[in-house]
Amino acid sequence: MEELLDRISSEIYQNSYVIVDDFVDSGFRKALLKEQTELLEKGIFRNAAVGKGDQKQVRTEIRSDEVLWMDSDNLSPLQASYWERIDQIRQVLNQRCFLGLRSFEGHFARYPIGSFYKRHLDQFHAVPHRVVTVILYLNDSWSNEDEGALRMYFPQEDGTEHVQDVLPLGGRLVVFLSGEIPHEVLPTKKERISITGWLRNID
Ligand SMILES: O=C(O)CCC(=O)C(=O)O
Ligand SMILES: [Fe+2]
């Protein structure tokens, strides 16, 4: 984990993003996926909203995933163990990148077949406190034909954008600066499950 934390902090410092394959082992991933699938079957998932406070609304033309927020006071043992690992990332990013990260918030997300999330930034006027986005994919298998990639846009110095597509491979962790990297989820041809969270500079 030490080496991994080194790599995460140096790549965030240099590139504003990092991709870590097999961040969790397949036993842990499968257990989380099972736990989440059970919640899903109980119908606890909600259509994801866009915006915050009074502005909050379900806009399925922007995003059509379903989310379930994790309750920090009521974490399952698996969720707690994931939070602990994220907290190690939080600490190393504070030590090496001086990001002043104080807390984490996160939700499970399910993208049914055909769903997507249009291009956006995770940090904007209504949610200024999200500094680092952390996504863990839980899918059993994924290939190019399943589509549903995370498409990231990297602004270049000459004003153009470099585009990178990242497949939601199970166990893969994607970390990036929430205010710097616009991204979208391309329409998926297979159900797509993840945990998306944000390290914030408030408690
Ligand atoms: O699941 C992904 O790949 C990205 C999700 C996302 O952009 C978000 O929830 O803000
Ligand atoms: Fe996002």
Copy the structure tokens of residue 79. 């969720």
Please name the residue whose Cα sits nearest to atom 3 of ligand 1. Answer: 150
Measure 35 CA to ligand 2 centroid, in angstroms: 23
Report the distance separating Cα 72 and Cα 106, nearest Å: 9
State which residues form the domain around 60. 2-200
Please name the residue whose Cα sits nearest to atom 7 of ligand 1. Answer: 184
Angle, helices 77-97 vs 2-15, to 10°: value is: 60
Report the distance separating Cα 21 and Cα 171, nearest Å: 6
Ligand 1 pocket check: which of 36, 47, 150 to mutate, most ligand atoms within 8 Å of Cβ?
Answer: 150
Structural domains in the chain (count): 1
What is the model's pTM?
A: 0.94
Q: What is the pLDDT along the chain (203 residues), one digit of tens a residue?
A: 899 999 999 999 999 999 999 999 999 999 999 998 888 777 665 666 677 666 666 677 788 788 888 889 999 999 999 999 999 999 999 999 999 999 999 999 999 999 999 999 998 887 889 999 999 999 999 999 999 999 999 999 999 999 999 999 999 999 999 999 999 999 999 999 999 999 999 99
Locate the ligand 1 atom nearest the alpha carbon of residue 111 and give its number.
1
Q: Which residues surround ligand 2, an ion (CB under 5 A)?
A: 122
**Helices H / strands E in the chain, number of each:** 3, 11
Strands 150-155 and 183-185: antiparallel
Global ipTM: 0.99
Query: Closest by alpha carbon to 131, among 26, 16, 28, 46?
Result: 16
Alpha helices in the chain (DSSP H): 2-15, 26-41, 77-97
3-state SS assignment for residue 201: coil
Ligand 1 pocket check: which of 65, 67, 181, 183 to mutate, most ligand atoms within 8 Å of Cβ?
Answer: 183
Query: Residue 41 maps to which CATH number?
Result: 2.60.120.620
Copy the structure tokens of residue 86. 């994220």
